[in-house]
Amino acid sequence: MKSGIFLDRDGVINEVLSKRVKFVNKPSDLYLLPKVGEAIKKLNDAGYPVFVVTNQGGVGLGFMTEKALKAIHKKLVEDLQAFGATVIEVVYCAHKPNEGCECRKPGSKMITDLAKKYEIDLKSSYMIGDRDVDIMAGKAAGARTILVGDENTDLADQRFEDLYDAAVWITEKE
């Protein structure tokens, strides 16, 4: 089995609650964060399959359609390809917050389902997120965890300013 990288989307890969965009509800709202393409390419080059696991309650709440969400993810994959970076699969929970589903982070079902499908060893893999729910999902799945950004928590195994710094650490460490 191989190791994998599981990434949250908003706040890790793309801007959210920024000067340019509050929420990503259509493809034109998607702006990659600085050095994200280079970070994912670095992980790809080191042999890591990269996956995106994202809560998208805006679908369940009616702020966007599932069709629009799929168009956003298509743009995300295309934007990353411009850097030579590859995401194997993007999975999402479209349920409303507090709906009690197993897939919504902090639940680990999105991660464990991907691990089973792609034969990923979770103990040697990483879940990278910018919020407690991402870290809790990674821990529940049995993965190592990395927090990026400025969330005030000590739940994660490691902490970095951004995805690029995390990718450098992972690839130099292994």
10 is catalytic: yes
Tell me which of 10, 29, 79, 134 is the catalytic residue: 10
Check the annotation: does 8 bind a ligand: yes
Residue identified by tokens 């902490």 is 159
List the structure tokens of 72.
Answer: 């956003």
Check the annotation: does 157 bind a ligand: no
**At how many degrees (to 10) do helices 163-173 and 36-45 cross?**
20
For residue 86, the number of C-alpha atoms closer than 13 Å in the C-beta half-sphere is 8
Check the annotation: does 103 bind a ligand: yes
Check the annotation: does 93 bind a ligand: yes
Check the annotation: does 10 bind a ligand: yes
Tell me which of 8, 29, 79, 134 is the catalytic residue: 8
Residues in Cβ contact with 100 at an 8 Å cutoff, skipping those fewer than 6 apart: none
Positions marked catalytic: 8, 10
Q: Which residues are annotated as a binding site for Zn(2+)?
A: 93, 95, 101, 103
Q: Which residues are annotated as a binding site for Mg(2+)?
A: 8, 10, 130
Q: Which residues are annotated as a binding site?
A: 8, 10, 93, 95, 101, 103, 130
